[in-house]
Amino acid sequence: MSDRIQQTLLEHGHATDAITAYGQYQRLFLHVLKTLSRRSGKRLRLSDLPEILRQPLGESDRVFFEHFLGEMGLLAHKLTFLQAQMGAKSGGLWILRSRSAGCWSRAGCRRSR
């Protein structure tokens, strides 16, 4: 998805090269993440886009972004590994989910006991 966003930034003239597009992607990503992490005021406005893309990315934001990507990559790797393990042991993660789906309601849990 990041490649698509960077390509869109280039196509719409917000960025003139791939390096600029990547920096803008970082700022945009962090802005969205911070905005949606707030308790209230979760509003993203298209009119804010030019200002967001012009803001400098501080060193702490850059470190956070790289750490976040690393964690997400690690999480994706762990999920793939667990899905493979579950698939080998129980015939697939989706089967396990469908078997446990009834326990989301009290009646479903009583039936399964």
Residue 7 to residue 15: CA distance in whole angstroms:
9
> Any residues with CB less than 8 A from the CB of 72 and at least 6 apart, and which?
none
pLDDT by position in tens, the chain (length 113): 788 999 999 999 999 999 889 889 999 999 998 899 998 889 999 999 999 999 888 888 888 888 887 777 766 666 766 766 676 555 444 444 444 444 444 444 444 44
Locate the domains of the chain by residue range.
1-57
Predicted TM-score (pTM) of the model is 0.61
Residue 41 to residue 80: CA distance in whole angstroms:
35
Which alpha helices (DSSP H) does the chain contain, by range?
2-11, 18-37, 49-54, 59-90, 93-100, 106-112
Residue 90 to residue 58: CA distance in whole angstroms:
47
Task: Compute how many other C-beta atoms are within 10 angstroms of the C-beta atom of residue 87.
Answer: 14
